[in-house]
């Protein structure tokens, strides 16, 4: 069973640009969550999608957005990039998204560097 | 305000001894707790979880203890092995929120197992 796949793995952008990251969940998983990992803040929840609908959103500015497609694949977009957006962006999938399913399955992440 | 706190950024333990990783939380609505393990260049992987109706959950070398009155949980690894060297994230969820809420993660503790 293929795991969660994130692309691209690494990318470098400059301030003011925008970026789109992609996540393909495990087959059969309908929930996709996005997290930002930085050394100072750990893992912070961005948003969660289930059946193409955003169900939950973390405390991030509107520059951060996402969507989910009918095949459960998800994209997140960050516009007007700032230096502080440099981070590892992790995508996680699960069957229902509920924590009581026990586990989220994480991808390897997309490492974004903003210069 | 950090709702899940891992106050030790790093911990060094000798191989074969017990590793104890600690986690404190402030939100009394949290009722489900998980530990994730992360190796460099990989996404976090689920390790063990505990519901608030329990005070202990064991899985092989890993045991998680929950003290609800103190809002504290700990992960014990016995005996510690070199492959346990990783960053460990404590996470908490309020399932009573209805639907799938994003997990709230701590900042992580880097466990180093010394030979």
Of residues A60 and A2, more confidently modeled: A60
For residue B100, what pLDDT band results from cuts at 50, 70 and 90? very low
Bridging pattern class, strands A10-13 and A5-7: unpaired
- Looking at residue B16, the DSSP 8-state letter turns out to be T
pLDDT tens by residue, A29-53:
888 999 999 877 888 889 889 889 9
Percent pLDDT > 70 in chain A is 93
Residue A46 CA neighbour count, 13 Å, CB half: 27
- Which positions in chain B touch A98 (Cβ < 8 Å)? 95, 99-100
How confident is the model at residue B98, as a pLDDT?
39
- Which positions in chain B touch A56 (Cβ < 8 Å)? 99-102
Q: What are the CA-CA distances from residue B88 to residues A110, B1, B40, B46, B49 (Å)?
A: 20, 21, 12, 10, 13
- Which positions in chain B touch A106 (Cβ < 8 Å)? 36, 43-45
> Average of pLDDT values for B5-27?
96
How confident is the model at residue B101, as a pLDDT?
53
How confident is the model at residue B41, as a pLDDT?
81
pLDDT tens by residue, B28-69:
988 889 999 999 888 999 899 998 899 999 999 999 999 999
Best of B92, B99, B102 to mutate (most A CBs within 10 Å, chain A):
B102
How confident is the model at residue A17, as a pLDDT?
98
**CB distance B92 to B27 below 8 Å:** yes
For A107, the closest of B36, B43, B108 (CB atoms) is: B43
A108 vs B45: CB contact, 8 Å cut-off? no
Percent pLDDT > 70 in chain B is 92
**CB distance A12 to A19 below 8 Å:** no
Residues linked to residue A106 through DSSP beta bridges, in sequence order = A92
Distance in angstroms (rounded) separating the CA atoms of residues A88 and B8? 21
User: Is B40 part of the contact surface with chain A (CB cutoff 8 Å)?
Assistant: no
> Among B34, B25, B33, B32, which residue's Cα sits nearest to residue B1?
B25
User: Is B71 part of the contact surface with chain A (CB cutoff 8 Å)?
Assistant: no
Residues A61, A69, A10, B6, CA torsion sign: positive
């Amino acid at each position: 069973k293929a795991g969660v796949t994130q692309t691209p793995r690494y990318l470098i952008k400059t301030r003011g640009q925008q970026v789109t990251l992609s996540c393909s969940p495990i087959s059969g998983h309908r929930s996709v969550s996005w997290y930002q990992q930085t050394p100072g803040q750990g893992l912070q929840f961005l948003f969660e999608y289930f059946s193409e609908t955003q169900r939950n959103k973390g405390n991030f500015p509107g520059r951060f957005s996402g969507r989910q497609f009918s095949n459960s694949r998800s994209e997140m977009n960050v516009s007007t990039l700032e230096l502080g957006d440099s981070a590892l962006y992790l995508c996680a999938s699960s069957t229902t998204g509920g924590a009581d399913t026990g586990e989220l399955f994480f991808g390897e992440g997309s490492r974004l560097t903003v210069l | 305000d950090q709702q899940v706190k891992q106050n030790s950024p790093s911990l060094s333990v000798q191989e074969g001894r017990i590793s104890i990783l600690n986690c404190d939380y402030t939100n009394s609505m949290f009722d489900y707790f998980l530990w994730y393990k992360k190796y460099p260049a990989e996404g976090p992987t689920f390790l063990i979880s505990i519901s608030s109706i329990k005070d202990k959950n064991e899985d092989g070398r890993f045991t998680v203890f929950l003290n609800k009155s103190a809002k504290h949980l700990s992960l014990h690894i016995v005996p510690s092995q070199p492959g346990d060297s990783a960053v460990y994230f404590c996470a908490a969820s309020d399932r009573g929120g209805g639907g799938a809420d994003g997990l709230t993660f701590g900042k992580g503790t880097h466990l180093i197992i010394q030979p």
